[in-house]
Amino acid sequence: MMRSGFIIFTILLFSNHILGQGSFGPPSNPTYGNVQQDIPQAYYQDANGTSDEDLKEAIYQIIGNHVDFPYTSSSTDTWDILEQSDQDPENNDNILLIYTGRSQDKGYRDGCNCYSDYENGTHSNSWNREHVWPKSHGFPDQDDIAYRDVHNLKPCDRSVNSSRGTKDFDNGGSQHAEATECLTDSDSWEPGDSVKGDIARIIFYMVVRYDPGYDHNNNEFDLELVDYTTPNNTDPILGKLSSLLQWHIDDPVDDFEVNRNNIIYSYQQNRNPFIDHPSLVSYIWGDNYGEQWNETLSISTIEFDENIKVYPNPTSGEIFFNSVLINSKIEIYSEIGKRVYDIENISSNKIQLLLSSGVYIMKIRNNNKILYKKIIIN
């Protein structure tokens, strides 16, 4: 069952809090496990033991009512927060632009007039703020809190932002001339592979954060995900759910995304739960719908055999053990709890894993003992 894999992943990845952060890479060259989630103790406890719509409601109660910052202001605003949350880890003076992946001077933005070739405060290559869930799909007014929610904002090339417009997210189309890793057609936008999961998890956040309804010009509405594209639609709906679910699996959470979540939390005081706990997606929209979700399981119920060593870690795929695990069984689970590898009766001290980059949990059964190891594949 996927649920058992989720429990294994939760135990190891989220029960340990490491202060500070190590160096990490951009989405185009991702790293995993170097940045720890700054999740406050008991932050998600009210969601434990809930399922389906009750789980969704519980998450909403946790992440709603966040601190609100102005969209543009002489005081701290969304520009300032984005300059930190999306800073290029390889150049502190720059930010990384969504869709193009370009590293750009933070000052080269709309309204800055910092450069001689600006015209009326803008330039075709200046950066502005992309609303990943399009603001026209439910919150067109700047006085709406969803309009200013930094979790939904990404730095973006001005002209590329215009090209994406209000299109839904889906697969297919023609290559975009500037954002060459993106595909687009008349009603959809497909981002590059390195940020597909990032986009999906932002959309999942929005549909839960603003799902139970909040006041918008005295009319309550819910943001809803649908499994079709919605061209020229200004209703609070967006597609395409099935594509976003697959992107979430194909592009797992990396250190850049974790760091961004931590920084936004330090301002807004709410987190994107689908970055902290990717398995929530399956419990709200996927195979585990209807099952009770739990953040943690007491590790006292698990017996660890510290005599077994696994190396190197991180690895490119080849893993060695310090002894031959005769009659052992190994299972490996992805971060969403899906079993992706298993082997029994090992007769060698190494295995070769042909898995995508990301964080995994290895479960080893040996001599009636169980060992869990977090492994990182580069």
At 338-355, the pLDDT tens digits run 778 888 877 778 889 999
Each residue of 85-110: b (16+ CB within 10 Å) or e? bbbbbeeeebbbbbbbbbbbbbebbb
Over residues 326-337, the pLDDT tens digits come to 677 888 888 777
Per-residue pLDDT averaged across 353-372, rounded? Answer: 80
What's CA 241's distance to the chain center, in Å? 15
Closest CA to 156 of 197, 201, 184, 191: 191
Q: Are 114 and 122 in contact (CB under 8 A)?
A: no
What's residue 101's pLDDT?
Answer: 97
Over residues 47-83, the pLDDT tens digits come to 999 999 999 999 999 999 899 999 999 999 999 999 9
Average predicted confidence (pLDDT) for the chain: 85
**Helices (H) and strands (E) in the chain — how many of each?**
9, 20
Strand 183-184 with 219-221, pairing: unpaired
Between residues 376 and 199, the one the model is more confident about: 199
3-state SS assignment for residue 97? coil
Q: Are 262 and 268 in contact (CB under 8 A)?
A: no
Closest CA to 144 of 249, 217, 246, 85: 217
Asked which of 18-22, 317-321, 323-327 is least confident by mean pLDDT, the reply is: 18-22
The ranges assigned to domains in the chain are: 37-285, 302-377
Instruction: Give the Å distances, CA to CA, from 308 to 11, 12, 75, 120.
Output: 19, 17, 54, 64
Euclidean distance between CA atoms 127 and 158, whole angstroms: 5
**Ranges assigned E (strand) in 135-200:** 153-157, 168-169, 174-175, 183-184, 188-190
What's residue 117's pLDDT?
Answer: 67
Euclidean distance between CA atoms 86 and 66, whole angstroms: 20
What's residue 306's pLDDT?
Answer: 60
- CATH code given to domain 302-377: 2.60.40.3080
What's CA 328's distance to the chain center, in Å? 34
Residue recorded with tokens 């200046």: 126
Tell me the two tokens of residue 370.
């169980």
Per-residue pLDDT averaged across 110-138, rounded? Answer: 81
Asked which of 5-14, 99-108, 200-209, 276-285 is least confident by mean pLDDT, the reply is: 5-14
Contacts of 363 (CB under 8 A, 6+ apart): 8, 330, 331, 332, 333, 370, 371, 372
Widest CA span of the chain, in angstroms?
72
